[in-house]
Amino acid sequence: MRTAATRAIQFISIGIFLLMTFAISPASAQSAPTVSGADVYQKRCARCHDEGVSRAPARQVLQTMSAGRILRTLDFGLMMAVAYPMKREERVAVANFLGTPGEDAPPAPKNPCAAGVAPLSAASAPGWAGWSPSASNTRFQSADQAGLNMTQVRRLKLKWAYGFAGDVTSFAAPAILDGTLFIGSAGGLVQALDAKTGCVHWTFQANGPVRAAILPVRKGSSYSLVFGDLIGWVYALDAKSGKLSWKKRLEEHEAARLTGSAVSLDGVVFIPAASWEETRSTDPQYECCTFRGSVTALRVRDGSQVWKSYLVDPPQKTGVNGVGVAQWGPSGAPVWSSPTIDLKRGLLYVTTGDNYSVPATSTSDAVIALNLKTGRIVWTQQALANDAYTSACRTKGVNCPSTNGPDYDFGSSALLVRAPNGKEILVAGQKSGLVHAFDPDAKGKLLWETRVGTGGINGGVQWGMASDGQKVYAAVSDVSAVMNTAGPVGGATFDPVKGGGLTALHLENGAKAWFAASHPCDPPKPGCSPGQSAALALIPGVVFSPSLDGHIRAFSTEDGEMVWDFDTATDFSTVNGVPGKGGSIDGAGPVIVDGMVYVNSGYPRNGGMPGNVLLAFGAE
């Protein structure tokens, strides 16, 4: 008969459910001198790992692993849902308490590029740098850059798959420059791949998970790669070698996370900051809340700061919660998405999330214009007032603000686009299910708004719309279950029919041009929803919209007819030899360059299907 330890070892060695295989960074290890790992273990972990709970590795098994391996599992691996309320210092302390010292080496790629194949060797080839091909964040790729037309889209076939070792999610947006694809991973491994074959040029290990799109920025005769991670660090790497040029912690707050991709102008990068604090609040002992959303401008050459703009005032103590723990406010107004550059007006636009505590501010759930040179707030246009919310509200916890939501963030970027009538407008989609158009020449005055979805905590427009200058295209999530933040990763029971949908709106007035209904899960299965949360991507005549059911679909921009469909929720043989599996698609949308379409598959964060692959499609 197998022992509990043997069963645990077998479980953690299967496919994509391997525990994270990268070690704790020295910087992270030094951040928790006052927290007792033994105390954290007794409070958070012992009930499962000391008492033989099914599928939980026994304590003696955990003690054979490295501290870094355990930490990555807490950050964005199998245990991420359980670890959401834990502060960073608690995660580091318990990882050091349980694990063995030292570092696990990153897995050696089984498909290194040949000696004669160098990074950035396809000079002046088409590219997609950062979150969008342009600083206007329309996620529109021109015909020349895309190398695809409607006929070719109908013939798209899988060319190669790349597996992320040890990961259960694949959420980083790829960036492509001169024939090289740069992408991060949930395990914090950043890779440079050949865009046509998937062979590996180099890898770099970051301190934390990397989901933001990597931004190549010209630096002399080469490029720096700038990106952030989910524990608040910003990095600059040499694009050809992958060597670190500099790194710095962007925010002092322990819950800072960098999900929005940087944008750049004249040697300066602009980096938005969001936070884990909304989920920290589920712990009644947490002093909620003190994080302040921000944008920081750094010099590419050395990481030095040009300016920093906070989007709420410094928090003050406002009282205590129901168990006597201090409460603080204002807080929140995080920036989840990539900023938008407006050269004509000298402005940087950001969209913000909700407040985490009272008093609520005018800068939450808003579009905000900042001066590009100084970071000064020029104007604010709020879409919804008094939206203070935390994850504690789902269970009526003591850290739920008195306003209790409704948690209608802006999670996607504002699009700066010229409508057919010649008028430039800012278009932003919200979790409320509304798409708003604002006037950048009138301090963000509302021009029109149109409902495209029901909206909700995990509903409405989530990660990104797209526009071709004729219409704006908005997909919605609207899944029928709330976020899964307190149990096993993935496998939520969603309604297999409700959710999703893609709408095309006329830019001049917001009138609906067409609507393409979502596709029910067939057959229904755990973690499957027809919700369309992921960002869209667009080429002339075709808009691509992935779904939580694992499908990536392409639709005609003329009438919404579906012209291509591929189910990614299956097993894949990968070019790097890592067992690959697809799942739900969420977060980063497709990237389209030089006749290829790239998309990540696997996103269990909100209860969807796990996965660990990057897929590359091309026309036959």
pLDDT band at 55 (very low <50, low <70, confident <90, very high): low
Say if residues 367 and 446 touch (Cβ distance below 8 Å). Answer: no
Alpha helices in 99-226 (DSSP H): 143-146, 150-153
Distance of alpha carbon 414 from alpha carbon 341, whole angstroms: 10
Q: Helix or strand or coil: residue 383?
A: coil
Query: In the prediction, which pLDDT does 485 show?
Result: 46
- List helix spans (H) across 248-298: 277-280
pLDDT (average), residues 274-296: 96
Res. 418: pLDDT tops 60: yes
pLDDT at residue 297 greater than cutoff 70: yes
List pLDDT tens digits, range 116-130.
889 998 876 789 999
Cβ atoms within 10 Å of 115's Cβ, excluding its own: 6
Q: Kindly tell me the burial class for residue 465, based on how many C-beta atoms sit within 10 Å of its own C-beta (0-12, 13-18, 19 or more).
A: buried
Q: Which amino acid is at 111?
A: N
Give the pLDDT of residue 341.
98
CA 367 – CA 381 distance, rounded (Å): 5
Q: Which of 97-111, 205-219, 285-299, 526-540 has the lowest mean pLDDT?
A: 97-111
Band of the pLDDT at 294, cuts 50, 70, 90?
very high
Report, as an integer, the average pLDDT of 323-330.
97
Over residues 79-131, the pLDDT tens digits come to 777 787 888 888 888 888 988 886 677 667 789 999 888 999 887 678 999 99
Q: Residue range 374-387: average pLDDT?
A: 98
Residue identified by tokens 């740069």 is 182
Grade residue 6 by pLDDT with cuts at 50, 70 and 90.
Answer: very low
- The residue assigned the tokens 């091909």 is 133
Distance between CA atoms of residues 442 and 428, nearest Å: 16
Q: How far apart are CA 292 and CA 314, in angstroms?
A: 8
Cβ atoms 255, 87 nearer than 8 A: yes
Model pLDDT, residue 310 = 98
Q: Report the alpha-carbon distance of residue 408 to residue 366 in Å, rounded.
A: 10
Residue 365 has pLDDT above 60, yes or no: yes
Average pLDDT, the chain: 90
Q: What is the pLDDT of residue 18?
A: 32
DSSP letter at 11 equals H
Please, which pLDDT band fits residue 181 given cuts at 50, 70 and 90?
very high
pLDDT over 80 at 25, yes or no: no
pLDDT tens by residue, 491-544: 888 999 999 999 999 999 999 999 999 999 999 999 999 999 999 999 999 999
CB 359 within 8 A of CB 385: no
C-beta atoms surrounding 105 within 10 Å? 10
289 and 321 Cβ atoms separated by less than 8 Å:
no
Which residues pair with residue 613 across a beta bridge?
163, 601
Residue 224 near residue 68 (C-beta atoms within 8 A): no
Q: Is the pLDDT reported for residue 24 higher than 50?
A: no
Note if the bond before 289 is cis, omega within 30 degrees: yes
Give the pLDDT confidence score for residue 243 in this predicted structure.
97
DSSP string, 457-478: TT-SS-S--EE-SSEEEEE---
Q: What is the pLDDT of residues 65-76, one digit of tens each?
A: 888 888 878 887
Q: How many CB atoms within 10 Å of residue 600?
A: 33
Of residues 39 and 337, which shows the higher confidence score?
Answer: 337
| CA separation for the pair 182, 175 (Å, rounded) | 5
State how far the Cα of 172 lies from the Cα of 230, in Å rounded to an integer: 11
**How large is the average pLDDT for residues 53-60?**
75
User: Which domains can be identified in the chain, with CATH numbers?
Assistant: 4-98 (1.10.760), 180-410 (2.140.10.10)
Task: Tally Cβ neighbours within 10 Å of residue 101.
Answer: 11
